Structure 1
Amino acid sequence: MTHTHPPGETIGMRVRTVSDTLLTGLQRRLARGVDRHLPALLSRNTPPDSPALWLALDLTGLHEAAESGLNEQAYKQAATAVTAAAQIWARTDVPHARTSAQQPTTLGAVLARVARSRTSAEDDLARALRTHTLDEVTARLRPLIGQARPLGVSLDYGLLAADLDAWQFPGGPHRTGQRWAHAYTKAKALANRTASSPTADRKAPPA
């Protein structure tokens, strides 16, 4: 089936919100010992476009992006993106947290942290950016994101889900890759500036 042109930001925002709500709620329930079967279900080698997974995750909230609900193709892309992001979450054990100015958890910021401890991570990111299908890019991203686990950082899987939704449109890999490259280099430059700046606790010179 031929894809239509990308919709407005409304669907992308809904994808992010649904993913954020899903994983925030699931992390809270897991902390109470509830719904432990879901991470195991998401860790199986099941394609993210599996309707059985969509039902298990209850992705009905995606239809709130449109007054009359999403059409079949738009829902398929959005549900696949949310599920793919949730599968990466389950398989890497890197927790979800919304990004903020105080705690940037975008993909670019997280991978910049990884690259500081493993220089070959940038080459791995470049390989991911040369992929064209959703399956290819998620397969490349999983081990990269997994390397963030020992660093104790979180990732905004809501933003990642929105990007994976955009990835599925014509020209999506190129535009999304540009966005990831921009975020990565910006985070890397900020980290370099921070590392080279004077320490905050340096004593002021005498008056």
Structure 2
Amino acid sequence: MTTTSAAPTVRTRVADLTAAQIIPRQEGYLNDRPKDVAALARLRRGAGRDAAAIPDLWHLVDTGPLHIRTEETRPLSEQELIRAENALHTALTLWALHQQSRGVRMHRQESHNRPTGLGAAVRRLMPPSEIDEPVRKRLIRAGTAADLTTLAQRLRDIIVLLRRADIPLDYGLLAGQLYTWQWPGGADTVRREWGRSFHRWQQPAQQPGASTAATSDNDTTRPADTDKDAS
């Protein structure tokens, strides 16, 4: 008996497209490829800003695959396209800010044993078995944003903290959540996901001589190089 897989949702398409654009740029950046270093420098200028306000970034945020029709995908409506484009722009620019001057991969796909959703990442900023109220309130404040631009600005503040601590994030997952956020009732859905992710994180048992949780991912590619990020 032949079975066919279900058509991907728009949220899934946005998440997959985001990861597909980040992964090669991330590897290029970590290997000091000038084209990717320059692209990140330009992308991060858009972090926390409306996508339509920065036409200079349009060629760096490739929305073309959203228009491709296949047997498994349908044409997207105008509202779906706008929200997908907004989510892709926001996720890519926040990742570029996150990756700045970091020698490890700041985009990391979530897995069962290694949660890298936003809630889990924020929880990792806190001491084991303690709740850091100022940090928790940053997540809550992001969750109460009235629109996507405000949300992006508040997420930007969180991303700066994650970058300092070398804590990665699944930007494909985040992009999908940013897409959902823009629909009626979507903010409630995403807040629940962030809360679940926050409580899902469990501090790993510390081994003698092991590094802190923030740097225990064992994904160092090269030492951080701040000179190339001066722009």
Shorter-chain TM-score bucket reads: 0.7 to 0.9
| 2: CA distance, partners of 1:155 / 1:41 | 20
Any unmatched runs of 5+ in structure 2? 1-6, 209-231
Assess if the C-alpha contact under 8 Å between 2:61 and 2:88 holds in 1: no
Assess if the C-alpha contact under 8 Å between 2:83 and 2:179 holds in 1: yes
Assess if the C-alpha contact under 8 Å between 2:115 and 2:197 holds in 1: no
Q: CA deviation at 1:152?
A: 2.3
Q: CA deviation at 1:72?
A: 2.3
Structure 1 segments of 4+ aligned residues over 6 angstroms from their partners: none
Letter in 1 for 2:120: A
Q: CA deviation at 1:25?
A: 1.1
Partner of residue 59 from structure 1, selected from 41, 58, 63: 63
The DSSP-based 3-state class of the residue aligned with 1:37 is helix
Q: Which residue of 2 aligns with 1:104?
A: 115
| 1: CA distance, partners of 2:28 / 2:75 | 28
Query: In structure 2, do the counterparts of structure 1 residues 34 and 177 end up closer, same or farther at CA, with 3 Å as the change threshold?
Result: same
Q: CA deviation at 1:101?
A: 2.5
Any unmatched runs of 5+ in structure 1? 1-7, 202-207
Aligned residues: 187
Assess if the C-alpha contact under 8 Å between 1:14 and 1:64 holds in 2: no
Q: Which residue of 1 aligns with 2:12?
A: 13
| 2: CA distance, partners of 1:17 / 1:10 | 11
| 2: CA distance, partners of 1:152 / 1:44 | 20
Q: Which residue of 2 aligns with 1:138?
A: 152
Please say if 1:116 is aligned against 2:127: yes
Matches within 5 A, 1:115-194: 115-116=126-127, 119=132, 120-187=134-201, 190-191=202-203, 194=204
| 1: CA distance, partners of 2:181 / 2:124 | 24
Cα deviation 1:125-148 (Å, max 9, x = unaligned): 111112221111111111112212
Cα deviation 1:24-44 (Å, max 9, x = unaligned): 011122223323332222222
Query: In structure 2, do the counterparts of structure 1 residues 67 and 185 end up closer, same or farther at CA, with 3 Å as the change threshold?
Result: closer
Assess if the C-alpha contact under 8 Å between 2:97 and 2:159 holds in 1: no
| 1: CA distance, partners of 2:53 / 2:126 | 33
Moved more, 153-162 or 100-109: 100-109
With normalisation by structure 2, the TM-score equals: 0.71
**Structure with the bigger percentage of helix:** 1
With normalisation by structure 1, the TM-score equals: 0.79
